[in-house]
Amino acid sequence: MVSIIDVARAAGVSNKTVSRVVNGEPYVTPEMRERVERAIRDLGYVPNMAARMVRSSRSRTFGIITDYVSTTPYSGDIVRGIQDWATANGKIILLANTGGDPERELSIWNTFRSHQIEGVLYVTMYHRVVDPEAGDVDLPTVLINCHPGSRVDLPSIEPDDTQGSLDLTRYLLARGHRRIGYIRLNPILLGGEQRYEAFRHATTEAGIPENDIIVRLGMEGPVGKETNYVYSAARDILSDENRPTAIMCGNDEMAIQVYLAALHLGLRIPEDVSIAGFDDFQTLSLALKPELTTAALPYYDLGFKGTERLNQLIEIPADRPSRVVVPCELIERGSVSSK
Amino acid sequence: MVSIIDVARAAGVSNKTVSRVVNGEPYVTPEMRERVERAIRDLGYVPNMAARMVRSSRSRTFGIITDYVSTTPYSGDIVRGIQDWATANGKIILLANTGGDPERELSIWNTFRSHQIEGVLYVTMYHRVVDPEAGDVDLPTVLINCHPGSRVDLPSIEPDDTQGSLDLTRYLLARGHRRIGYIRLNPILLGGEQRYEAFRHATTEAGIPENDIIVRLGMEGPVGKETNYVYSAARDILSDENRPTAIMCGNDEMAIQVYLAALHLGLRIPEDVSIAGFDDFQTLSLALKPELTTAALPYYDLGFKGTERLNQLIEIPADRPSRVVVPCELIERGSVSSK
DNA sequence: AGCGCATTTGACGACGTCGTCATATAAATT
DNA sequence: AATTTATATGACGACGTCGTCAAATGCGCT
């Protein structure tokens, strides 16, 4: 471990002068600066963050706490967004995941305090309501991809499932679809409900009669262990001779099964039936042929902007908790045709 | 910030006694211990890791450095495995990603040194050959999901694509398939080549004539921007009147397109054509109907065991670089039938 | 020459923790 | 009774950094 003192010795100056050079402080002659910089290069000196933290009691570290449900792998993009903001702004990220265990969650909060964390990003892998076990601790916290429950009042940043679904539905309606099937996501998912409500809202608004909306529940049960009816629901809907001209799916994953069901019945996509997804999970949406028209969950942005927001919260602690919503962009590809 | 001294004052003991209690050292009377523990609870004391690091110059921290190609989201499981081992063994994880930029990579190594990292996990998002830019730095490093290039000699832990593909091919052969299609992964992917070679090896070994093996390249080009021929390749293979009875795919993502192509041609899966994938990316393999028979990439284990290995390396620095290979388990589901 | 001011450098201590050593008491051995 | 040994507690300093303050130098002005 080469310290500031080693550098000072090598450059023949005091440790404080080295400190000044390292931190870009004024009042150092160019000549001194030069000498110190060479010593730093020669010795391969890197400042010791731990010592800095002890000295300044500022860690420049944010903690991520996730529930890490591995069934939704795409939400890893949230972490990428967080990382990118952090790196660009000289912050360090400490990652921890609860595995859903509240006891673990408490111990994580302690770990965070131990590391002098300045703020916490509470990230869920699907859009839902949460009650962080923060308890006594009151670190600045931003909820990402989730919504505060009754016990807490925290700022959050969430995808606008409602707007996304509204846009998607209107897109379908604008293309002349008047009889539409809808396969619902698990009702315990916040996003699922918002998407469905928005769909209903848009169709009602367009004057589509109740009878022309065919709704099926695609899955239910606890997250990660749900039973899945999508394939049979899709077959069911599409077997009817008065079948809808389009099917909207709770998410892209469901869309696969609808594709398969449709093809199995000899229907062409999108000529015989149009299909729309949700999420824009590209491993799926681009693998499907024709590629899937869908609404993109802004995961990367959620992470990036959420972190930016946390930083604000830390610098200006006055600002009030609030909810920020990020739009879901409509991604037009080949699975929806005009009627 | 409540420090060990505050606790000592509150408990009416010396700071060293508190230190002893906190670290579970002997030579403390139960009575003293009790008193200190209450003070700790009352004040909500948590040890300051930064100070510990300065004192002991041991950080108990591992760094993860990834190339983070977002096209392969499932490899997030590697990170989960790392996390789990780390949490279970009291280690902290620092995450950083290069975004593929070598300059960034160098600055990350410095950040790591700055944080007194004890070891590095170099993780790639797909199985490939790498040359870490470690340069001057020589921190204990384990490569996860990648293989050292010529410039370095580092221990690695990798999936056994060869064994997985061998098992899968033999499984098909055992079920009587004698004419088999194979859609190859991008040739620049190490795993892709290994899988293909193993496939060829197994079929040759079983005496399948060259003519009964129909091979197509499914994709090529730089990772993340490849052109994809899978769908048309599958149509092509399956349109032939002397079509194979089974198709093996470079990975699960390709299998989707093969499903779609088969169904489009009115073929039933698995009655008319059997399909096998690779990876067991469950968002896909379980969404397909019938569910996909495939070989599971041991991502979680790669992370978990890789971290364990890194820890060994740190504790017993004597041990030689070596390559560990983790088997890919055959996952039997419904997409392959007997001939 | 004397003064004020800006610039440049360094000595010193504190942040929180824990290893080292010294001291104090009690129990066990001679 | 004298001693060794085991147990229990604390004083002190060092880890690497940087803020505070003091000191030294040079310059322009009266």
| Other residues' Cβ atoms within 10 Å of the Cβ of residue B259 | 30
Tokens of A167: 């846009």
- A106 touches A135 (CB < 8 A): yes
A35 CA → C9 C1’, Å = 14
Q: Give me the pLDDT at residue B71, please.
A: 54
Please determine, for residue A100, whether its predicted confidence score (pLDDT) is greater than 80: no
d(CA A247, CA B35): 67
Cα separations in angstroms, A16 against A7, A37, A42, A56, A233: 11, 14, 19, 16, 72
Strand C at less than 7 A from CB of B16: yes
Nearest to A289 among B1, B84, B260 (CB): B260
Q: In what order do the strands lie in the sheet with A141-148?
A: A323-327, A156-160, A141-148, A119-130, A61-66, A92-97, B92-97, B61-66, B119-130, B141-148, B156-160, B323-327
| % of chain A beyond a pLDDT of 70 | 95
- B14 touches B4 (CB < 8 A): no
Q: Which residues contact A28 (CB under 8 A, 6 or more apart)?
A: A17, A20, A21, A36
- Banded model confidence at residue A120, pLDDT cuts 50, 70, 90: very high
- A143 touches A154 (CB < 8 A): yes
**Best to test chain B binding among A64, A78, A97, A113 (most B CBs inside 10 Å):** A113
Please determine, for residue B135, whether its predicted confidence score (pLDDT) is greater than 60: no
Taking the CA of residue A170 as centre, how many other CA atoms within 13 Å lie in the half-sphere pointing to its CB? 11
Give the nearest nucleotide to B46, CA to C1': C16
Strand C at less than 7 A from CB of A26: yes
- Under an 8 A CB cutoff, do A71 and B283 touch? yes
Q: Crossing angle, helix A4-11 and helix A15-22, to 10 degrees?
A: 110
d(CA B180, CA B171): 12
Q: Which residues contact B163 (CB under 8 A, 6 or more apart)?
A: B198, B325, B327, B328
d(CA B63, CA B110): 11
**Lowest-confidence pick of A193-202, B54-63, B126-135, B256-265:** B126-135
- B114 touches B91 (CB < 8 A): no
Please determine, for residue B69, whether its predicted confidence score (pLDDT) is greater than 60: no
**Best to test chain B binding among A185, A260, A272 (most B CBs inside 10 Å):** A260
**Closest approach of B208 to chain A, Cα-based (Å):** 31
**Closest approach of B31 to chain A, Cα-based (Å):** 26
Among chain A residues, the shortest Cα distance to B299 is held by A70
Nearest to A50 among B46, B54, B266 (CB): B54
Q: Give me the pLDDT at residue A197, please.
A: 97
Q: What is the pLDDT of residues A278-300, one digit of tens each?
A: 999 988 999 999 999 999 999 99
**Closest approach of A72 to chain B, Cα-based (Å):** 8
Give the nearest nucleotide to B14, CA to C1': D10
Strand C at less than 7 A from CB of B58: no
* DSSP 8-state code for residue A291: P
d(CA A18, CA A16): 5
Maximal CA-CA distance, chain A = 90
B13 CA → D1 C1’, Å = 35
Strand C at less than 7 A from CB of A19: no
Tokens of B193: 């080549």
Give the nearest nucleotide to A27, CA to C1': C8
Of A88, A137, A43, the closest CA to residue A303 belongs to: A88
- A323 touches A158 (CB < 8 A): yes
Please, what's the b/e burial string for A36-71 (b: 16 or more CB within 10 A of its CB; e: otherwise)?
Answer: beebbeeeebbbbbbbbbbeeeebbbbbbbbbbbbe
- B189 touches B128 (CB < 8 A): yes
Give the nearest nucleotide to A5, CA to C1': D16
Phi, psi of B145, deg, nearest 5: 70, 20
Place of tokens 């009875």: B245
Among chain B residues, the shortest Cα distance to A104 is held by B87
Q: Give me the pLDDT at residue B70, please.
A: 54
Mean pLDDT of A137-151: 86
Which positions in chain A touch B89 (Cβ < 8 Å)?
Answer: none
Sequential DSSP letters for A70-125: TT-GGGHHHHHHHHHHHHHTT-EEEEEE-TT-HHHHHHHHHHHHHTT--EEEEEEE
- B157 touches B300 (CB < 8 A): no
**Closest approach of B136 to chain A, Cα-based (Å):** 9
Alpha helices in chain B (DSSP H): 4-11, 15-22, 30-43, 49-56, 76-88, 102-114, 161-174, 190-205, 230-239, 252-264, 282-285, 299-315
For B81-138, what is the HEC assignment?
A: HHHHHHHHCCCEEEEEECCCCHHHHHHHHHHHHHCCCCEEEEEEEEEEEECCCCCCCC
Please determine, for residue B174, whether its predicted confidence score (pLDDT) is greater than 80: yes
Mean pLDDT of B306-319: 87
Place of tokens 């409602």: A162
d(CA A281, CA B129): 27
Q: Tell whether omega for the bond before A132 is within 30 degrees of 0, i.e. cis.
A: no
Nearest to A73 among B46, B87, B283 (CB): B283
- Under an 8 A CB cutoff, do B114 and A49 touch? yes
Residues in chain B: 339
* DSSP 8-state code for residue B13: S
- Under an 8 A CB cutoff, do B49 and A114 touch? yes
B27 CA → D4 C1’, Å = 19
d(CA A21, CA A40): 10
- Under an 8 A CB cutoff, do B83 and A97 touch? yes
- Under an 8 A CB cutoff, do A80 and B87 touch? no
- A339 touches A178 (CB < 8 A): yes
Nearest to B95 among A93, A263, A282 (CB): A93
Q: Give me the pLDDT at residue A74, please.
A: 65
Kind plus residue range of the DSSP H or E element containing A199: helix A190-205
- Under an 8 A CB cutoff, do B283 and A287 touch? no
Q: Give me the pLDDT at residue B133, please.
A: 67
Q: Give me the pLDDT at residue A167, please.
A: 98
Q: Tell whether omega for the bond before A290 is within 30 degrees of 0, i.e. cis.
A: yes
- B255 touches B283 (CB < 8 A): no
Give the nearest nucleotide to A55, CA to C1': C15
Nearest to B260 among A49, A70, A259 (CB): A259
C chain positions with any atom within 7 Å of a protein CB: 7-20
Q: What is the pLDDT of residues A241-273, one digit of tens each?
A: 899 999 999 999 999 999 999 999 999 999 999
Tokens of A98: 């609860």
DSSP SS3 for B240: coil
- Under an 8 A CB cutoff, do B116 and A256 touch? no
Distance between first and last Cα of chain B: 71
Higher-pLDDT residue of B176 and A90 is B176
Which positions in chain A touch B282 (Cβ < 8 Å)?
Answer: 71
CA trace torsion B186, B189, B191, B193 (10° rounding): 60
Mean pLDDT of B201-210: 96
- What is the number of H-type helices and E-type strands within chain A? 12, 14
**Lowest-confidence pick of A118-127, A203-212, B8-17, B132-141:** B132-141
**Closest approach of A171 to chain B, Cα-based (Å):** 25
D chain positions with any atom within 7 Å of a protein CB: 7-20
Please determine, for residue A70, whether its predicted confidence score (pLDDT) is greater than 70: no
All structural domains of chain B, each given as residue ranges with its CATH number in brackets, are: 4-47 (1.10.260.40), 56-159+300-326 (3.40.50.2300), 161-297 (3.40.50.2300)
Q: Which residue is nearest to nucleotide C8 (CA to C1')?
A: A27
- B194 touches B162 (CB < 8 A): yes
- B218 touches B254 (CB < 8 A): yes
Please determine, for residue A198, whether its predicted confidence score (pLDDT) is greater than 70: yes
- Residue type at position B112: F
Tokens of A227: 């039973």
Higher-pLDDT residue of B339 and A325 is A325
How far, rounded to the nearest angstrom, does the alpha carbon of residue A200 sit from its chain's CA centroid?
Answer: 25
- B226 touches B251 (CB < 8 A): no
- B63 touches B94 (CB < 8 A): yes
- Under an 8 A CB cutoff, do B80 and A97 touch? yes
Q: Give me the pLDDT at residue B62, please.
A: 95
Nearest to A260 among B116, B254, B288 (CB): B288
DSSP SS3 for B264: helix
Give the nearest nucleotide to A8, CA to C1': C10
